[in-house]
Amino acid sequence: MRRRFLRPVWGVAVLLLLLLGVMAEASQLTILHVNDTHGHAWPFDVSDGPSVGGFAPLSTLVDRIRREVESKGGHVILLHAGDFNTGVPESDQSDAMPDIVAMNMIRFDAATLGNHEFDKPREVLKRQLDFARFPVVNANLVDSMGFNPLKPYVVKDFGDVSVAIYGLLTPETAQLEPVHLKGWTLEDPVGVSRRLVPRLKNRARVVIALTHLGWSDDPSLPGTSRALAEARIPGLDVIVDGHSHTLFKEAPTIGHTTVVQAGDWGRYLGRLDLTIEDGRITRRSWRAIPVNLKRAVGPGGGKRVFEFLEGEIPSDPKVEAALDYFKRVGRERLDAVVGRTRVLLDGERERVRSMDTNLTNLVADAMRWKVGADVALLNGGAVRASISPGDVTYRDVLTVLPFGSTLYVVELTGEQLKRVLDFAVTVPAGKGGWPHFSNLTLRRGASGAQDVRVGGKPLDMGARYRLVTFNYLALGGDGYQVLKELKGYDTGFVDAAVLAEFMGTQGEISGWDGSQRYVP
C-alpha cells in the first residue's frame, strides 16, 4: 500500500519540477545601445528642433527602461559601439573626459573602440581607458608583439541568463588613423569571430558582437557588420554596430544574427528586447527611441513651434551638474571671436567629400599661407561642420577642424607631385580622402590627373615644389601611402589654430574663391 501511495505523489513532484524548469528557462534581456556620439555629451540644436540628445536626458531614459524591465524580472545591458571621441569643442578640449564621466554615471556595461579613439596620442587613449569604469572590449586589435592590448570580451552572468560581449573595430582604421594606430594592426572581423564565438557560446547563452564596422546595403562589401552577419557564424546572436551612422528603421536578422545601429550623436537610444527559452532566442523586437527629438508644428508669434516626437525626457540632475562643470572649463577661450563672415562657409559632409566649397578653399589657403607653400592638399573628411554668418569664435573653428592635425611640409619634384595627384583623383566621391587644393587645378583623366597647373602654370616635372598637407595624410591616412614614401617634416602648427589666425587677417569674409579647383 505504501508503494501505491508514493507513486502518484512522486509523479506529481516530477511534473512540478519539469514545469518549474521550463518556466525558469524563459529569460528577458533588453540591450540598450548608442554609437558615434562624437563628444555630444550635452543637448544640441538641429534643424528639426532645439536641445536634442545629451547624456543627462539619456540617463533618465535608461533609468526608466531599467525599472520597467527589472520590475518584470528581466535584465538590461547598456552598450556604446564606439567613437565617443571628437566632434564638440568642450569635449575635445578635455579629451572626451566629460563623455566618460557621464557614461560612468549612467553605468554603461561595455563599450568598444571606434576609429576616432585613435585621433589623439596613445597616452590619451590609455588615460581614457583607465578612467572608464566600464570595460572597453576589442578582439581584433594586435600590437607589435602579436598580443591583444585590450580586453577582448566580457561575460555578464545574471543567473538565469549569461551574456558574452566581444568587440571589433573596422580594419579601415589602418587607413583612417595611421598616426596613432602605428605599431598596432587589425585582424579580419569574420576570421576573429569564427575563432572566438564558439568559445564564448560555451560560456554564455547570448553572444553579442559590439562592433565599429559600419553597415552596408551591399552584402559583398568586406569588413562591414553586414558581411559579419552574412558569414552566418553559429552562436553569434546579435551585432550592435557603429561607424556608418546608420539609423535603422527595422533591425535586420540574417540567419540567426540580428544587427542593430542607432544613428549618431545620441539622438536615439536603440532598444532590442530578447526572449530566451531553452537556450534559444525565441523573440526579438527592436526600435530606436528618440531622445528629445522634435518636429516643427508651425509658426507661433513669428517663431517656429516644436513638439516632442515622443514626449519630453527631463535631464538627470546629477549627470547634468557634472557636465555643466566641464562646459564651463575653457569657455572663455572657446568663445573668443577670431573672425567674421557675411556668408555661410559650407562644410557639410556630403559636399566636402564630393566637391570644393568656400570653406575647404579657405582652409587650404590658410595652410599654404602659414608655411609659404606652393600647394596645399587637405582631405574632405577633415572638415566636420559649416560656419554660419556672423562672428566666428574659436569654438566654431574647432567644430570645423576637431582632430588637432598638424601641418606637414614635403619638398618634392613635379614628377613626385604628379604621383600624389594620380592617387588623389582615384578617391571616389563620398570618401573622407576626397582631395582639396590651394593654388593647384587639375581634372580627372582615364590615366590619372590631367591638365595640372600650379599657380596657373603647367606642372613642371623637373621643378621642385613645396607641398603642405596634414600629418594625418603625410603618414598614409585615407590611403595616401604615396605621401608616406616622401620625406618631409611636421611643423607642429595645429590646423584649427592656423585657420583661426588666418581668418583674423582677412577682415570680414564676403566669399571665398568659389571657383572649382578640382574638376571630376
SS (H, E, C) 454-484: ECCEECCCCCEEEEEEEHHHHCCHHHCHHHH
Q: What are 301-331's pLDDT values in tens digits?
A: 557 788 999 999 999 999 999 999 998 887 8
Q: What is the mean pLDDT of the chain?
A: 91
Q: Quick check: 514 pLDDT over 50? A: no
pLDDT tier, 119 (very low <50, low <70, confident <90, very high otherwise): confident
pLDDT tier, 300 (very low <50, low <70, confident <90, very high otherwise): low
Class of domain 25-328: alpha beta
Give the amino acid at 114. Answer: G
Q: Quick check: 403 pLDDT over 70? A: yes
The CA angle 396-398-403, to the nearest 5 degrees, is 155
Q: Which residue, 274, 108, 107, 114, is CA-closest to 207?
A: 274
Mean pLDDT of 258-266: 97
pLDDT of residue 13: 47
pLDDT of residue 6: 42
The alpha carbon of 341 is separated from its chain's Cα centroid by a whole number of angstroms, namely 30
Task: Output the nine-digit C-alpha cell for 242.
Answer: 557603429
337-519: same fold as 25-328? no
Mean pLDDT of 132-152: 96
Rounded distance between C-alpha atoms, residue 40 and residue 32, angstroms? 18
Q: Which residue, 219, 249, 225, is CA-closest to 238?
A: 225
Q: Quick check: 18 pLDDT over 60? A: no
pLDDT of residue 511: 79
Q: Which residue, 139, 141, 148, is CA-closest to 193?
A: 139
pLDDT of residue 299: 64
pLDDT tier, 4 (very low <50, low <70, confident <90, very high otherwise): very low
pLDDT of residue 53: 97
294-320 as b/e: b if 16+ CB within 10 A: beeeeeeeeeeebeeeeeebebbeebb
Domain with residues 337-519, CATH architecture: Alpha-Beta Complex (3.90)
Q: Quick check: 513 pLDDT over 70? A: no
Q: HEC profile for 189-253?
A: HHHHHHHHHHHHHCCCCEEEEEEECCCCCCCCCCCCHHHHHHCCCCCCCEEECCCCCCECCCCCE
14-18, 85-89, 112-116, range with the lowest pLDDT: 14-18
State the helix-helix crossing angle for 55-70 and 317-328, rounded to 10 degrees: 160
pLDDT of residue 331: 80
Q: What percent of the chain has pLDDT over 70?
A: 93
Q: Quick check: 515 pLDDT over 70? A: no
pLDDT of residue 517: 41
pLDDT of residue 333: 77
pLDDT tier, 446 (very low <50, low <70, confident <90, very high otherwise): confident
Backbone angles phi, psi at 409, to 5 degrees: -110, 135
Mean pLDDT of 465-482: 94
pTM: 0.77
Q: Are 208 and 226 in contact (CB under 8 A)?
A: no
Q: Which residue is it, cell 524563459?
A: 26
Domain extent listing, the chain: 25-328, 337-519
Mean pLDDT of 213-231: 95
The alpha carbon of 279 is separated from its chain's Cα centroid by a whole number of angstroms, namely 33
Q: Quick check: 7 pLDDT over 60? A: no
pLDDT of residue 215: 97
pLDDT of residue 441: 94
Q: What percent of the chain has pLDDT over 90?
A: 78
Q: Are 210 and 81 in contact (CB under 8 A)?
A: yes
Q: Which residue, 320, 195, 215, 209, is CA-closest to 261?
A: 215
